[in-house]
Amino acid sequence: MLLVDIGNTRLKWRLHKLDANGQPTTAVQQRGSIATKELSTSALTKIMPAEAKTLCFASVADESINALLLTWAAQQQLNYQQVQTQQQWQDLTNAYADVSRMGVDRWLAMVAVRQLNQVAVCVIDCGSATTVDFIAPNGQHEGGYIIPGQRLMVQSLLADTAQIDFFDQATQLQNGGYGTNTAGAVMQGSKQLHQVGINAIAEQALQAGYKVYATGGDGKFLAQNQAINYIDELVLDGLWASLYDESC
């Protein structure tokens, strides 16, 4: 079974072994990822495992991106299902009155965490936007925050300037210190603002008795805090867990 998580910037996938009854197991045979801007049916053919028999995917990307995946799946003659945000998964209850308004990545991250334990948890997903969700011990989603991610902060600041290419300057995010040009200063400032803000939210959650889980490429700095559980593929973990209630 091929599990796919399509975000705004990357598509991640895992190939899970099926048991004798055709149900997905925890055994991961292969995994990989590709930038969404590089997606095409030919690119998918090159990177996706030929052994896949069926496809389950979750997406917060544009429908044109989803269409590329579905075109590839049709070429491979794969049965598929797109998993959507639910009102309920086992004892996890969504706080949204209209669950279609919640990104499925947020929901699946909460599903993954709820599968791990049944205590009060704070789930932080640092993607294009950073989302923070709180779950009570009884599984009731209490709500949360949505905050611009580092890239969104940068893009909003540079949108009307001298056409500075964010991706051409992205290497400056890997370096410490101060920016030495406008693009660098914007990127370093956005990085600092994001990390300080998310650290403060995480610390407040810990002090309030929540167990904190984090995921997302811009959240790797949270792994330095031993009190925070950083899990790289939390959304894919939730997609796998959701198969107990939604069979592909």
Cα–Cα distance between 133 and 144 in angstroms, integer?
A: 4
Identify the active-site residue in 19, 62, 91, 105: 105
What are the residues facing 11 on neighbouring strands? Answer: 6, 34
What are the residues facing 141 on neighbouring strands? Answer: 135
Q: What is the CA radius of gyration of the chain?
A: 19
Whether 104 and 246 have beta carbons less than 8 Å apart is answered as no
How many CA atoms within 13 Å lie on the side-chain side of 201?
Answer: 25
Cα–Cα distance between 61 and 16 in angstroms, integer?
A: 23
Cα–Cα distance between 50 and 28 in angstroms, integer?
A: 15
Instruction: Tokens for 1, please give them.
Output: 């079974």
Cα–Cα distance between 139 and 153 in angstroms, integer?
A: 32
Cα–Cα distance between 230 and 38 in angstroms, integer?
A: 27
Cα–Cα distance between 116 and 2 in angstroms, integer?
A: 22
- Can 237 be counted among the known catalytic residues? no
The catalytic residues are 105
